[in-house]
Amino acid sequence: MQLAFSTLLLFVFAAIVAAQPPTNNCVVPHTANADDSPAIMEVFTRCNVNSTITFKAGVEYNAWSPMKWFNLTNVKIELKGALHLPTNVTDVQAKVNATYGVARPLMVTFNVATGTISKLKMIKPVAHGIRLTGTNIVVTKHYVDAKPANGSRDSPVGFPFNTDGFNVGGTNITIDGYYGNNGDDCVSIINGAKNVVAKNGYCGFSSHGLSIGSLGSNGQNSQVSNILFENWVMDGAVYGARFKSWTGGNGLAANITWKNMVLLNVSTPIFITQNYYDQGKGPRPNNTAGTSTHIANFHFENFSGYLNPSWTDGTCISDPCWNYVEGIDNTKAVIFDLYNGTATGLQVKNVHVKPYKKRYEDTTVICDPATLAPGAQDTLGFKCWNGPYVATRIAS
């Protein structure tokens, strides 16, 4: 099944997928030079149970209005043609606000109980791609092309801001096979995510990595657990593996693994901050609440490759940059910006990365040993300090 989207608007799926094959066949009609959204809505309303809904091959549909597809049971969607969506970001935002209230645009919310997405292509999205908030979802062979024709990784001109591939907040979700040129996270794990596997992927252009968060905004109690990222190539990314929670957050992120990562021109391979804030609004605020989103059992294993000459990218449009931390440069393989005593079970193993056109011995880290939990250095796997990367024995 070939699924091809171009640009972006917001679709909401709410469905239960049963085991038996659909028995009803429905074809979506198309009207040239007109908005097909009303016709699409009519078909999804009429064929919401035990149906195959087909977008015809060779037809370029116009989905110019936001849509909600609710109460789908045992429905298969075959997008053999293409869906063209609005490209003007201002117009898209206005339509989203008018339909759903003020919200950041994204193309699809996939809130289903047992569902699959296969061979979906998203070409030149203007904002977030797909949010997975349901249960028992499998995604295979996903493709995203947000790379601008008139820009580069290090220039804000034409940069595809906020073009995440997936935001995942559901349970029992597998993403197997991803090829993307993104201007933001390829996969972002958000509050509520549990038992997620994202494997066998390529993250290109200027991705902001395979990320947990952001969590804990405005003191939110965020819960994320049992997440595995495995077998990824990160090419030109700002981050490889990233965790971010806001200053003064609450909750717990536990049992997270990034494993078998090939890093090509990556600015910072491993990054954790429990003190995230918006640099565009001024200096880091005081953590008056004295709280943090706790982290437990984060494992980073088998990282290889080399760093980018630049520690940031075209999204650096503020002063300081949104990803600036004191001491950052183009030699940092690991940056741990921890909140005192709230990070346990951190482990870094088999990391072999070097700065661009330099030696492995030139690789450095940022890590304040005073922020480690008691005994954490014994199992960390590298020397926590602001200095060269030094691998250490992991105590059993």
206-230 residue pLDDT tens: 999 999 999 999 999 999 999 999 9
DSSP assignment letter at 192 = T
* Band of residue 10 on the pLDDT scale cut at 50, 70, 90: very low
**For residue 142, what pLDDT is reported?**
96
User: What contacts 47, CB < 8 A, 6 or more positions away?
Assistant: 24, 26, 53, 75
Average pLDDT over every residue of 275-280: 86
What are the counts of helices (DSSP H) followed by strands (DSSP E) for the chain? 3, 26
Average pLDDT over every residue of 168-190: 97
Q: Which two tokens stand for residue 3?
A: 């699924």
Average pLDDT over every residue of 321-341: 95
**For residue 15, what pLDDT is reported?**
58
**For residue 101, what pLDDT is reported?**
78
Is residue 16 pLDDT above 70, yes or no?
A: no
User: What contacts 101, CB < 8 A, 6 or more positions away?
Assistant: none
Higher-pLDDT residue of 221, 319? 221
Handedness of CA 247, 252, 254, 257 (dihedral sign): negative
Is residue 11 pLDDT above 60, yes or no?
A: no
* Band of residue 198 on the pLDDT scale cut at 50, 70, 90: very high
Read off the pLDDT of residues 252-272 as tens digits, 9 standing for 90 and up.
999 999 999 999 999 999 999
**For residue 150, what pLDDT is reported?**
82
362 torsion bin: left (phi>0), alpha (psi -120 to 50), beta (else): alpha
**For residue 333, what pLDDT is reported?**
98
Return the closest-CA partner of residue 244 out of 235, 236, 232, 256. 256
**For residue 52, what pLDDT is reported?**
94
Query: Which residue numbers are catalytic?
Result: 184, 208
Is residue 6 pLDDT above 80, yes or no?
A: no
**For residue 62, what pLDDT is reported?**
95
Average pLDDT over every residue of 139-168: 91
Return the closest-CA partner of residue 304 out of 264, 331, 347. 264
Can you tell me the distance from the alpha carbon of 319 to that of 309, in angstroms, rounded to the nearest whole number? 20
**For residue 8, what pLDDT is reported?**
34
**For residue 4, what pLDDT is reported?**
33
Percent of the chain whose pLDDT exceeds 90: 75
Is residue 127 pLDDT above 70, yes or no?
A: yes
Average pLDDT over every residue of 354-359: 97
* Band of residue 7 on the pLDDT scale cut at 50, 70, 90: very low
Instruction: Please tell me the total number of residues recorded for the chain in this structure.
Output: 396
